[in-house]
Amino acid sequence: MTSDPFYKDHWINIDRDRLDRYQRMFQWNPDSSILYEPADIGPGHIVGDFGSGPGHTAIEIATWVGADGHVHALDINSGFVSQTIDNAVAAGVSNNVSAHQCDGSTLPLPDGSLDRLTTRNTLIYVDNAEYTICEFRRVLRTGGKVHAIEGDWPMMIVEPVSNKTWSTLVDAASHACRTPDIGRKLYGLMMLAGFSDIMFRSLPDPILMEDCCP
């Protein structure tokens, strides 16, 4: 019997069917490129991708950094780590991608070893976001950048669902996340970790029913 809370355990222990489904779900979407533009990733950069899943984003970033760069894919799930290695080989970038298993409490990288660190929809699950962000700062070189893309469940608006009903649903589902309102907290957490020149952008992303239903 696991001693990990559900928000963590359901990423550590993923059955084969769900792992294979995530392999398909997390394929790189070219439309996502705009989300990563502020990270300013370029040739020769050493980049960490925290919460990398099966590695598709890390592999895409490897094409941006080129032969002189490198990407460290970091994820809590051992199956994702194995898939990342296989996917990097299939994509022809295995020399430029390394995969590591970690939960964010300690990153398995030396001080000042990264030019950039990206993370997307992952800080919402870590045990202690403040500590993890301090780890981000530790592994970054002087002048490096963290680029975090996170949501904020309680601030979502779902029409025609009432605010009260949505709030009830979020409360019921919150056991699957450590910090469902991480989006509004990121600026303060970055300041506490000692980052400067912090930029915050709110990106509304409306989804219409006809976009997802036949």
If you average pLDDT over residues 85-107, what whole number do you get? 97
Q: What is the CATH number of the domain that holds 47?
A: 3.40.50.150
pLDDT for 210 beyond 60: no
**Does some domain include residue 73?**
yes
119 within a domain of the structure (yes/no): yes
Residue type, 33: S
* For residue 1, pLDDT beyond 50: no
Identify each DSSP E strand in the chain by its residue range.
46-50, 70-75, 97-101, 114-120, 140-149
Q: Is residue 207 part of a domain?
A: no
Establish if 76 belongs to a structural domain: yes
Q: Is residue 209 part of a domain?
A: no
Q: Specify if 62 maps to a domain.
A: yes
Q: Is the pLDDT of residue 173 over 90?
A: no
> Which pLDDT band, with edges at 50, 70 and 90, does 201 fall under?
confident
In this prediction, residue 212 carries a pLDDT of: 42
Tens-place pLDDT, residues 7-28: 999 999 999 999 999 999 999 9
Asked whether residue 203 carries a pLDDT value surpassing 80, the answer given is: no
**Per-residue pLDDT, 193:** 96
Q: What is the pTM of this model?
A: 0.91
Q: What is the average pLDDT value for the chain, to the nearest integer?
A: 91
Determine which helix (DSSP H) or strand (DSSP E) holds 85, and give its type and residue range.
helix 78-91
| Owning domain of residue 148 | 6-28+39-195
11 in a domain, yes or no? yes
The number of distinct structural domains making up the chain is 1
Position 25 scores a pLDDT of: 93
How far is CA 88 from each of CA 54, 59, 82, rounded to the nearest angstrom?
10, 6, 10
* Strand bridging mode 70-75 / 140-149: unpaired
Whether residue 212 is contained in a domain is answered as no
Name the amino acid, one letter, at 20. Answer: D
Average pLDDT over residues 94-121: 97
